[in-house]
Structure 1
Amino acid sequence: MGNSGLTGQPATLSDEEIAALKASTNLSEEEIRDMFNEFNKGGGAGDGKITKEEFHKYYKKTVGSDDADGIFADNTFAAFDTNHDGSISFSEFTFAILAQNKTDLDSILSFSFASIDISGDGNISFDELKGYLEKAAILAIGKEEAAEIDSDEVALINFIALTADLPMPIQFYRTSFVNPATAAYCTWWTFFEYSLNLISELLMAVISIQRHIFVFQPRLFDHRLKRYIIYYLPLLFCVVYPFIFYLIIIVFYPCDGTQWVFSSNLCGYANCYLVYNKVLTSFAWAMNNGLPSVTIFLANAMLVIRVVQQKRRRQRLISWKKQRHMTMQLLGISSLYMIAWIPCLIAGVGQRIVSPNFLLQIQFDYFLDLIYIVCLYLPWACYGFLPECHKWFYKVFRVEQVTRNVIRPTVRD
């Protein structure tokens, strides 16, 4: 850029740079200059680059009280620094701001991926995903409350589902056939997927209940014994019970293995207990899928009602902004589970009450695939309910529309 080599002097834009940006971004010259002024405020004046330290200061100043500690500064810097050289050029600054304001799915996913992939190696590690979710929890509910919540279980289950389980249905839909087409593979696949789905559902149900305690009776966790009984033991049950239950009714259930359908996803869901044992099938649907879904809905509905009731009592010393963020995030994440499971549960109940073929084809073609949206959209649900990040981008992108006066001839009567 013009004076980029003169330390301490404001950098300027050349006519060639403006022309190149106009051609590649469809921005007007006035909009480019407005954005360049914002870039200089962030630390670009002088050498034409914003270092990480300068970006941290600019981020905190721009965000204000929404993220005063700069929790997401590193993630945002990683998304801006596309060539990963440790600094942000004006071109990177411009394209990052424009990418954040695009509404097409590819741009949204690319920018979100870059903000999580801090290392810039093109892969999201478990530590990066876990760290991102922990930061989301801190911003949503506060540092003290987030410190009480061990997010390892939810993050780990979601990470395993994305990396180990989801490739199997993707492989099936690519070839339209189960490969390898063996009873052992189908047994392992269904055991693994059913267990992960149930763990995820139970964790969400338990966390929805525990949130009432975090909001309204946090002192219960001050006592170590009560904390283990109320908090840790239920979470441990959510992880251990599904593996034991499905180990017994899938792996150890006596069956010849000829019932599998290799031309359907998840081997046609033709587990022996589902095909031959109506009692176990009803129990699994009611207790393992129906009860957690109902619990998630009722617990979160009651949470909203209780928060609204408490909000009317102004004399109570409660941080309503913090509780509102926590409630909205939990409702948003819980809605994923409701969308994923309610259609399947309705079809399952209808097949037991109305007819065995009630919505059967629609269930296999559409409803059962909805379950995958939990692991696919959970990270984005966390991001979507962080208005702090959105506000910061809107503050940065303060490109005003240029008002043009149009002169028209007047006609006199």
Structure 2
Amino acid sequence: MLGVNITILNNISSIKNIEFLLLLLIEIFSIICTLYLLIYFLFHWRFMVIKSLPNQSIVLLIIVSFLYIIFDLPFTINSYYFGSDYSRILSFCLFRNWIHYTLICNNLYLVSTSSIQRYFLLFKIHLLRKRQTRWILHYIPLIFCIIYPPIFYLITIIFYSCTSTDIINSQYCTIPCYFQNSILLIVDCIIHYILPLIITISANIVLICWMIHLRCDLNVEQMYLWKRQKKLISQILIFSLFYIIGWLPSTIVFALNAFSFNKLNQYGSVVVWLNYTSYFICPLQPFICLILVPEPIYFLQDTLRQLLRKAMMRTSVITVEP
């Protein structure tokens, strides 16, 4: 019996090590990709960001991803390595919960908002040519996606008054204190998780239906425009599908917990695995953004091609010299 227990513990330890290595590797590659994208956008700011409305939400998503892999993911990786949180003092746990839920909400809101805005950018671009409607339909929603989540979680996590559990004797930081309020928890779940996913799914369904409708009404001269829009929408659908597949399982788990489905406890290992997969969404985000903004890839390919050509020319010169 003791041998069986030791084997189980070794298996659990091996799984934890694999989970730790996967998170560490994806964080390293994500940091490299994110820094490259941010530098690229910085040097092409006017053309790629200021004059390109679709890219503005992409840049915000990349920044949110960068903040996540710098301020949130390292603590998660540390927990997988040591089997406990780095620090369990109240101030640290409050900050970690605040930054974690804020960045997740930023992410979900930006994706759902950009899904709606893509419709206007593709089919109703004339509405965005006016400054007033451009602010209403584009800039104000993006500003709301960035400002609202930190304010909400600042109130519910930092300033919310409740009886704190003993986190000193626990291996991990406890859940936010407002989770004890069932009404507030349900509101949080619906507004910040379920609603953005529903909006993202609905917006993509509308895009597909609209494309089918346009395809039926187009003549031969308009086929080129339709093919171009078809390619853009295909990219948008792949981009959105990544978020839907990534966030839907953990959102379902959160919703079941929020609505007090206690039977979920018997599926503890499944719940833990679903939560684990959600850690990969923000780190993979910069790579997924390249689907919609491939210019950084083209720039890198051209740069590497030029460097290779110069290296080959130098080699040929050295070879020719007596």
| TM-score, structure 1 as length reference | 0.57
Evaluate the alpha carbon distance shift between residue 185 and residue 244 of structure 1 in structure 2; reply closer, same or farther with a 3 A threshold: same
Tell me the SS of whatever aligns to 1:249.
helix
Following superposition, the deviation at residue 169 of structure 1 comes to 0.6
2:122 aligns with 215
Distance (whole Å) between structure 1 residues aligned to residue 253 and residue 33 of structure 2? 37
Aligned pairs for 1:364-383 (under 5 A) are 364-383=271-290
Alignment CA distance shift 1:218-1:328 (3 Å): same
- Change in CA separation of 1:321 and 1:146 when aligned onto 2, cut-off 3 Å: farther
Larger radius of gyration: 1
Deviation string for 1:155-213 (max 9, x for gaps)?
21111112222111111111111121211111100000100000110011011011111
Rounded to whole Å, the distance in 1 between the matches of 2:190 and 2:202 is 16
CA distance in 1, matches of 2:75, 2:184: 26
1:166 aligned partner: 73
Structure 1 residue aligned with 2:316: none
Contact 1:329 1:382 in 2 (8 A): no
Answer yes or no: is 1:127 the counterpart of 2:38.
yes
Q: Are the equivalent residues in 2 in contact too, given 1:297–1:338 (CA < 8 A)? A: yes
RMSD: 3.6
| Counterpart check, 1:203 vs 2:110 | yes
Matched, 1:314 2:225: no
Deviations along 1:49-78, whole A, 9 cap, x unmatched? xxxxxxxxxxxxxxxxxxxxxxxxxxxxxx
**Are residues 133 and 329 of structure 1, via their aligned partners in 2, closer, same or farther at CA, if it must alter by over 3 Å?**
farther
Change (3 A) 1:292 1:163: same
Q: Which residue of 1 aligns with 2:198?
A: 294
Query: Which residue is 1:355 aligned to?
Result: 261
For residues 282-326 of structure 1, the C-alpha deviation after alignment (integer angstroms, 9 at most, x for no partner) is: 000111100001111111121122112212322384723432232
In the alignment, structure 1 segments of 5+ residues that lack a partner are 1-104, 118-123, 397-413
Aligned residue pair count = 270
Paired residue secondary structure (1:366): helix
Task: Assess, with a 3 A threshold, how the Cα gap between structure 1 residues 116 and 159 changes in structure 2: closer, same or farther.
Answer: closer
Distance 2:237 2:39 in 1: 24
Does 1:328 find its partner at 2:234? yes
Report sequence identity in percent. Answer: 24
**Corresponding position of 1:10:** none
**1:216–1:234 CA distance, 2 compared to 1 (3 A):** same
Q: CA–CA distance in 2 between the matches of 1:133 and 1:297? A: 32
On the 8 A contact 2:235/2:292 being kept in 1, the answer is yes
**Aligned with 1:312: secondary structure?**
helix
Indicate if the aligned counterparts of 2:207 and 2:233 stay in contact, CA closer than 8 A: yes
Q: Amino acid of the residue matched to residue 136 of structure 2?
A: I
Question: C-alpha deviations, 1:249-291, integer Å up to 9, x for none?
Answer: 1000113432548424xx24x21111x2000000001111000
Runs of 5+ unmatched residues, structure 2: 1-21, 306-322
Scaled by the length of structure 2, the TM-score of the pair is 0.72
CA distance, structure 1, for counterparts of residue 43 and residue 275 of structure 2: 29
Match in the other structure for 1:263? 171
Q: 1:188 aligns with which of 55, 70, 95?
A: 95
1:281 to 175, 185, 192: 185
CA distance in 1, matches of 2:137, 2:293: 28
Is contact 1:191-1:251 (8 Å) kept? Answer: yes
Contact 1:116-1:128 at 8 Å conserved across structures: no
1:352: Cα distance to partner? 5.4
Q: Distance between the aligned counterparts of 2:189 and 2:60, measured in 1?
A: 23
